[in-house]
Amino acid sequence: MLTLDRVVRRGSRDVHSIDLPYAGLQRLGFSLGRGQVGMIAAAPGVGKSALANALAQVVGVPTLYESPDTDAWTMTVRTIAHNSGHPQDYVRMCLEGGHRDDSLDLALWDSRHVQFSFDSYSTAEIKDDVLAYGVIHGAFPELIVVDTLLNVAGTGDDSHTRQGQAMEEFHALAQMTGAHVLVLHHVTGQYDDGDKPVPLGGLVNKLSKLPAQILTLYARDGDVIACPVKNRQGKADPSASMQVRLRFDKERMRFSDGT
């Protein structure tokens, strides 16, 4: 139990959010609240995993990235491409052909604040990873990415209950650790083409109650359009009419501010 003056005295880890590196989202007050759950939702192939990893690399806070949806080799190539600026094809050629390029080693060094887990398929296993991280590092990660909710909560006739329970567990994990837990999620069938804005009601199983921030994505002209449909700390529009263009260099898995 805490009085609010003690919350302030405990400092920035509890009080401040993790700022995002994109001016368009910053202007809307969209950031990742510590001790809260956030969500990025999009159709397959739009770029939600790419954006989540880019954020993890750029914001620079100690991060645990739970990635049962993407294999270790693919994530390695993507991360080196992002941090080095080399196209993914060049990175693969170097890694698979044994070609020496010191910039690839530097790119991996720049990712040392992010630890990945590729084999946790339940909320219990993710919690075990977080506790192990705390024992090893003496502190919990400040950002925990779950990629994706489907992979840890399953599908089937009762997926709504399972995914809802998983979100409740991630909410408790965020409060216990003080981390932001960023959950990647899918959208309903009418938005599965990935080419139109996804409103708040377009999330699979309507899981919008617990997240403090929700960003939906869709693709347009090769870029990614981010729509803050929920944002307790700033501006949002549940209809997805509030939009921020992010330039997406898919070869290098990099995002930057659009016009």
- Position 8 scores a pLDDT of 64
Instruction: Kindly state whether residue 83 falls inside one of the protein's structural domains.
Output: yes
Question: What is the β-pairing status of strands 254-257 and 244-249?
Answer: antiparallel
* Rounded CA separation 166/143 (Å): 17
Q: What is the CATH number of the domain that holds 62?
A: 3.40.50.300
Residues of the chain with pLDDT under 70: 1-3, 7-15, 155-156, 259
Give the residue numbers spanning the domain of 155: 19-257
Q: Count CB-CB contacts under 10 A for residue 165.
A: 12
> Domains in the chain: how many in total?
1
Instruction: Kindly state whether residue 5 falls inside one of the protein's structural domains.
Output: no
Instruction: Kindly state whether residue 67 falls inside one of the protein's structural domains.
Output: yes
Closest CA to 193 of 43, 60, 87: 43
Amino acid at 148: T
* Rounded CA separation 67/148 (Å): 7
- Position 12 scores a pLDDT of 47
- Position 45 scores a pLDDT of 95
CB 202, CB 59: distance < 8 Å: no
pTM value is: 0.94
Instruction: Kindly state whether residue 79 falls inside one of the protein's structural domains.
Output: yes
Instruction: Kindly state whether residue 146 falls inside one of the protein's structural domains.
Output: yes
Closest CA to 171 of 134, 205, 209, 199: 209
- Position 4 scores a pLDDT of 72
pLDDT tens, position by position, 83-130: 999 999 999 999 999 888 999 999 999 999 999 999 999 999 999 999
Instruction: Kindly state whether residue 2 falls inside one of the protein's structural domains.
Output: no
* Rounded CA separation 235/49 (Å): 24
- Position 100 scores a pLDDT of 86
